[in-house]
Amino acid sequence: MLTNMRLAQKPHDHVRCINAAIARAHEICANSNVRLTPTREAILKLLWQGHQPLGAYQLQQQLTRVTDKPVAPPTIYRAIEFLIELGLAHRIPSINAFIGCPFPNSDHSNIFLICQECKTVAEITDNKVNSLLGNLTDKFKFKLNSQTIELLGVCTKCESGGNDE
């Protein structure tokens, strides 16, 4: 299942996308008895704004612009850690950046399609990949704590020169 409509070349209601992510976050926080503070929510919204991964300092700059007050790096890192722990965001290791998770509270593959041209990222999941990873870890009696698969390439919009929309 592709989640980033830009990469999938389907119409995309971005406001609806962000609102759905925030609604899921509130639900998950309520079920987990934790609080989605205004700072955490603002950072999650920033992560969903463009389907492009953001680094901690980019988040800090954008949050400072939105709130009109300086935000310390530890505040950003604590909020990101909170979002990752709840499954609301992911860290993409190769670029040391973060992105919202479209599949919170579910087992999924953490496969990222990263466009090297426009930097857009789509997270996909595939049950066959999940099964394969489960079989491999079982075979070697290895307890898997996390995994990330990153596929670098060019999205269809960039491949066609951006004329698809």
How buried is residue 28: exposed, middle or buried, by Cβ count under 10 Å (0-12/13-18/19+)? middle
Which helix or strand (DSSP H or E) is residue 156 part of? helix 156-159
Residue among 51, 58, 162, 55 at smallest CA distance from 117: 162
CATH (residue range 5-159): 1.10.10.10
Q: Is the pLDDT confidence value at 4 over 60?
A: no
pTM above 0.75, yes or no: yes
Length of the chain: 165
Work out the pLDDT band at 140, boundaries 50, 70, 90. Answer: very high
Give the chain's mean pLDDT.
87
Backbone angles phi, psi at 92, to 5 degrees: -100, 105
Residue 41 and residue 22 in contact, taking contact as beta carbons nearer than 8 Å: yes
The answer to whether the CB of 93 falls within 8 A of the CB of 148 is yes
- Bin 52: left if φ > 0, else alpha if -120 < ψ < 50, else beta: beta
Whether 83 shows a pLDDT value over 70: the answer reads yes
Q: Residue 51 class from Cβ within 10 Å (0-12 exposed, 13-18 middle, 19+ buried)?
A: buried
pLDDT in tens, 97-110: 999 998 887 777 78
Given a cut of 80, whether residue 51 has pLDDT beyond it is: no
Q: How far is CA 148 from the centre of its chain?
A: 12
Nearest by Cα to 92 from 7, 155, 152: 152
Q: What are the residue boundaries of the structural domains of the chain, listed by start? A: 5-159
What's the CA gap between 135 and 69, in Å, rounded? 49
CA distance linking residue 97 with residue 90, whole number of Å: 8
Query: Comparing C-alpha atoms, which of 58, 50, 56, 59 is closest to residue 4?
Result: 50
